[in-house]
């Protein structure tokens, strides 16, 4: 028996599916990786947008990788959004580039970033810089976790509650009762010529104590809201002493009431009860600026007496809200559990 050879078949042809043509150059790693938090309506899952400078040459796609967690997201251009991150956890991110020749090494990691969540409102409603729902000490406003508060002393508590018909859906309360050596501290924030607004719900158990203070020193540029004689008194002070006082409408003991205080750009202070204006004071010339002595449930200037109250939905806005915006906050939060 004899055989004749008619031709040859190269090993590359026989194994073309196993050994594809991988001609070209693997791309370099992307550079200049930066991040931007993408606020979310969820208190457990948040997102970060990752931007980067692509390498030169042909690139078909990019992969962003989180640390910790190795959570990945892919895309064909910068930026790429990474989802499924945990609010309050600090992350860094690296990026790789891929083409037909292979995948680059990982880029230099981004600076660390901590995603946070906001509790979203309906279209047309405003978001505060600082917003304490008091399920915990975390800020739910657009300012992020740098405005998380802290409890001082042992008498006060924060946490979820349905007690006393709490008026705000999905909220807890600050229980500001007990001894006079406890308070809830608020990080420094800055008011500007745009004015500012303070909004909150309160359930007073008696007519005594200081509800909050915002100021720069013990005797300068303070706002102190005190409750005595069955009435709230808001004081404004500067280096020369008291420059204003306003009496809130008489609150109801053992009932929830919403209050808002708006400091306008024209040195006016307007006060609201349950979304309705309760009056305006002119020449309220407490200066704007950075406020670093900020306490809820205490007022260090005139009194350390606790307010003996429940407090929820405490908001700080860095603009002077309009009457319709104040009303929208009251209407948005006046929901019983």
Query: Residue 319 maps to which CATH number?
Result: 2.60.120.200
Rounded distance, CA 233 to CA 224, Å? Answer: 8
Count of alpha carbons within 13 angstroms of residue 257, beta-carbon side: 18
* 260 in a structural domain: yes
Mean pLDDT of 305-331: 86
Measured between alpha carbons, how far is 106 from 109 in angstroms, rounded to an integer?
8
Phi, psi dihedral angles at 31 (to 5 degrees): -130, 175
d(CA 115, CA 68): 13
Residue 18, pLDDT score: 43
Query: In the prediction, which pLDDT does 55 show?
Result: 96
Poorest-confidence range of 84-88, 147-151, 320-324?
Answer: 84-88
The burial of 12, by beta-carbon neighbours within 10 Å (0-12 exposed, 13-18 middle, 19 or more buried), is given as exposed
pLDDT at 101: 93
The pLDDT of residue 113 is above 70: yes
Cα–Cα distance list, 16 to 10, 21, 103, 110, 135 (Å): 10, 8, 21, 40, 62
What is d(CA 53, CA 330) in angstroms, rounded to the nearest whole number?
45
CB distance 300 to 235 below 8 Å: no
Say whether pLDDT at 76 is over 60. yes
The whole-angstrom separation of Cα 336 and Cα 162 is 9
Give the rounded percent of residues in the chain with a pLDDT score beyond 90: 23
Average pLDDT over residues 179-206: 83
Is residue 6 scored above 60 in pLDDT? no
* pLDDT band at 137; cut points 50, 70, 90: confident
Q: Is the pLDDT of residue 237 over 60?
A: yes
Query: Contacts from 105-109 at CB under 8 Å and sequence distance 24+?
Result: 105/29, 106/29, 106/65, 107/29, 107/30, 107/31, 107/33, 107/52, 108/29, 108/31, 108/33, 109/33, 109/67
Say how many Å lie between the first and final Cα of the chain, rounded: 94
Q: Does residue 197 fall inside a structural domain?
A: yes
CATH number for the domain spanning 41: value is: 2.60.40
Residue 167 has pLDDT above 70, yes or no: no
User: Does residue 300 sit within a domain?
Assistant: yes
From CA 82, how far away is CA 12, in angstroms rounded?
Answer: 41
Check whether 61 has a pLDDT greater than 90.
Answer: yes
Q: Which structural domain range is residue 140 located in?
A: 130-333
224 with 265, same domain: the answer is yes
Taking the model in full, what pTM does it have? 0.63
- From the number of C-beta atoms within 10 Å of its C-beta (0-12, 13-18, 19+), residue 75 rates as middle
Residue 111 lies inside a defined structural domain of this protein: no
> Same domain, yes or no, for 48 and 153?
no
**Are residues 94 and 230 both part of a single domain?**
no
User: 145 and 36 in one domain?
Assistant: no
Between CA 311 and CA 166 the distance in angstroms is 9
Tell whether 46 and 143 lie within a shared domain.
no
Taking CA atoms, 61 is separated from 19, 36, 58, 85, 97, in Å, by: 22, 21, 10, 22, 6
Asked if 267 and 146 sit in the same domain, the reply is yes
pLDDT higher than 50, residue 17: no
Q: What percent of the chain has pLDDT over 70?
A: 69
Number of domains in the chain: 2
From the list 334, 335, 337, 333, the residue with the least C-alpha distance to 121 is 333
Tokens coding 167: 């008026």
């Amino acid at each position: 028996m004899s055989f004749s050879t008619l031709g040859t078949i190269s090993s590359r042809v026989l194994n073309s599916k196993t050994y594809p043509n991988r001609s070209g150059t693997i791309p370099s790693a992307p550079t200049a990786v930066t991040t931007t938090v993408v606020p979310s309506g969820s208190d457990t899952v948040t997102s970060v947008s990752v931007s980067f400078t692509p390498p030169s040459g042909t690139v078909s796609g990019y992969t962003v990788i989180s640390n910790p967690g190795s959570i990945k997201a892919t895309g064909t251009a910068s930026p790429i959004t990474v989802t499924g991150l945990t609010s309050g956890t600090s992350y860094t991110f690296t990026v790789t580039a891929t083409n037909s020749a292979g995948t680059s090494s990982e880029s230099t990691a981004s600076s660390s970033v901590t995603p946070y969540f906001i509790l979203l409102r309906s279209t047309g409603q405003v978001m505060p810089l600082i917003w304490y729902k008091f399920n915990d000490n975390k800020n739910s406003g657009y300012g992020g976790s740098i405005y998380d508060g802290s409890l001082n002393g042992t008498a006060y508590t924060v946490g979820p509650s349905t007690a006393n018909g709490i008026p705000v859906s999905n909220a807890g309360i600050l229980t500001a009762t007990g001894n006079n050596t406890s308070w809830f501290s608020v990080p420094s924030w800055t008011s500007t010529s745009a004015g500012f607004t303070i909004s909150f719900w309160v359930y007073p158990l008696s007519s005594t104590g200081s509800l909050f203070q915002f100021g720069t020193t013990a005797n300068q540029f303070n706002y102190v809201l005190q409750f005595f004689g069955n009435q709230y008194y808001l004081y404004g002070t500067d280096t020369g002493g008291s420059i204003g006082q306003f009496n809130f409408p008489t609150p109801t003991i053992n009932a929830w009431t919403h209050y808002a205080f708006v400091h306008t750009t024209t040195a006016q202070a307007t006060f609201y009860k349950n979304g309705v204006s309760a009056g305006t004071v002119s020449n309220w010339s407490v200066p704007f600026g950075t406020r670093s002595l900020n306490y809820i449930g205490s007022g260090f200037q005139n009194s350390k007496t606790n307010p003996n109250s429940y407090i929820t939905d405490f908001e700080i806005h860095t603009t002077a809200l309009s009457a319709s915006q104040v009303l929208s906050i009251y209407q948005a939060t006046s929901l019983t559990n």
